[in-house]
Amino acid sequence: MDELDKLKNSWKKEENVYPKFSELDIYAMLHKKSSSEVKWILIISLIEFALWGSFSLLTTLSGADYSQALFLDVIDYLHYVVLVVFIVAFYFNFRKISSQQPVKKLMQNIIRVRRIVKAYVFYMIGMITFGLICGVIMYDDNNPQESNTPVYIVAFVFIPLLVLLIAVVYNSLYGRLLKKLNSNYIELKKIKDQ
């Protein structure tokens, strides 16, 4: 029993060592963390935009006819317009979350960011899948003299695996940030409900 009493006394002494935080302090920390997560989402999307732009500049369409080149150019420009729209949305949401606001408004902004990021991830995975399928079809069109059955068999196996890998990368990268935002949201909800 003496050991238990010593432990209790020790615990009581240590209670005063740990700092006490008010709801306002917790809100400020959650606000700062949320702002940081959205900033990282914005930074990653800007890096990704630069990488896609570099990739687009480095790749050239060799041997494609004019209609294919025009089709790819239109798709490419539309893709960059959509990326810019997402980046602008990330930026404005970062600005909103960075500014001081009531708990309820911060929670609404976190939900909005989560929706936009999920839409962005689905869009990017869809565009990559579309690009891979177009690449196989164009390869087939540009090489009519060859038997392209092996190309379609490889594509049938390769494209889903590559898309799955890309989905895992996107979900691990953006999913980690969204999980942190979600935990901030849950903590803010606790503050709001008290």
Q: Residue 71, exposed/middle/buried by CB under 10 A (0-12, 13-18, 19+)?
A: middle
Task: Give the chain's mean pLDDT.
Answer: 81
Residue (of 99, 80, 83) closest to 42 by Cα position: 83
Residue 26 in this model has a pLDDT that exceeds 90: no
Euclidean distance between CA atoms 135 and 140, whole angstroms: 9
Query: What pLDDT score was predicted for residue 100?
Result: 80
What distances in angstroms separate CA 85 from CA 57, 116, 140, 154, one per listed residue?
Answer: 21, 11, 33, 35
Judged by average pLDDT, the poorest of 59-63, 113-117, 128-132, 158-162 is 59-63
Euclidean distance between CA atoms 152 and 68, whole angstroms: 19
3-state per-residue secondary structure call for 55-80: HHHHCCCCCCCHHHHHHHHHHHHHHH
Query: What pLDDT score was predicted for residue 120?
Result: 94
Residues of the chain with pLDDT > 70, as a percent, come to: 78
Query: What pLDDT score was predicted for residue 63?
Result: 47
Q: Where are the domains of the chain?
A: 23-193
Query: What pLDDT score was predicted for residue 40?
Result: 92
Residue 62 in this model has a pLDDT that exceeds 50: no
What are 52-61's pLDDT values in tens digits? 878 776 665 4
